[in-house]
A and B are shown apart, each in its own frame.
Chain A
Amino acid sequence: EVQLVESGGRLVQPGGSLTISCAASGFIFSSYYMTWVRQVPGKGLEWVGRSANKVDNYITNYAASVRGRFTISRDASGNSLHLLMNSLKIEDTAVYYCVKENWYYYEDWGQGTQVTVSS
């Protein structure tokens, strides 16, 4: 059974940094693209970025709204996905979901972790 468990979300001040993580199990982590999707409570879904699989050298891509501020990385030995968020803005406040991707669609989702950017 695929399990994706996010952690690390908390309150952070504008301009601050935060790393959230996703512990993956139940599948061969290195074989799959992994994606972060966020959702402002009461609003729609927004693609944040993705990490390719091992065959594609774990190449990363980001949404324009976070490019240059967010970094996705993997801890392949530990089957973990991370999202380092720098220069956080109030508009980055959202629930962040870790998602297992399969050819551009999102097969499995974690339960999400809340990131709140506020002074």
Chain B
Amino acid sequence: QSVLTQPPSVSGAPGQRVTMSCTGSSPNIGASSDVHWYQQFPGKAPKLLIFRNINRPSGVPDRFSASKSGTSASLAITGLQAEDEADYYCQSYDNSLSASVFGGGTKLTVL
């Protein structure tokens, strides 16, 4: 069981907007620890998608955005494309565990 909770799956049609959540608690997201997001395709290494809650690395399309509030964070993808079909993971730091923690991942299906 992951410290950060993500829905196992979300889906949307091409062109639509989808969001996925990442729920933590007071020792991690609630303690103002930053949330980061990663995209992973089958058989590939994860790739940094969003860092420090809202920032996109160079090369990540602005269709990807994220937010954080209280003990939760959210990733949004607008103008959904077939190539966005992947697993998405959130990550933060847990002060009580003194460890980096990940969500269990959300599988995005483009219908």
Contact = CB atoms under 8 A, between A and B. Distances in A.
Interface of A: 35, 37, 44-47, 50, 61, 63-64, 97, 102-112
Contacts of A50: 100
Contact of B45 (A102, A103, A104, A112): A112
**Binding site secondary structure of chain A:** strand
A105 B52 contact: yes
Contacts of B98: 61
B97 interface: yes
Which of A35, A63, A106, A107 neighbours the largest number of chain B CB atoms within 10 Å of its CB? A106
Contact of B100 (A44, A47, A108): A47
Contact of B99 (A61, A103, A107, A108): A61
A105 B91 contact: yes
Contacts, number: 55
B63 interface: no
Contacts of A35: 100
Interface of B: 2, 33-34, 36, 38, 45-48, 51-52, 57, 89, 91, 93, 97-105
A111 B45 CA distance: 6
B2 A106 contact: no
- Label chain B's interface by main secondary structure: strand
A97 B45 CA distance: 8
Contact of A109 (B45, B97, B101): B45
Contact of A97 (B34, B46, B91, B100): B46
23 contacts: A35-B100, A44-B89, A44-B102, A44-B104, A45-B38, A45-B46, A45-B105, A46-B102, A47-B100, A47-B101, A50-B100, A61-B98, A63-B99, A104-B100, A105-B34, A105-B36, A105-B91, A106-B36, A106-B38, A106-B91, A108-B48, A109-B47, A112-B45
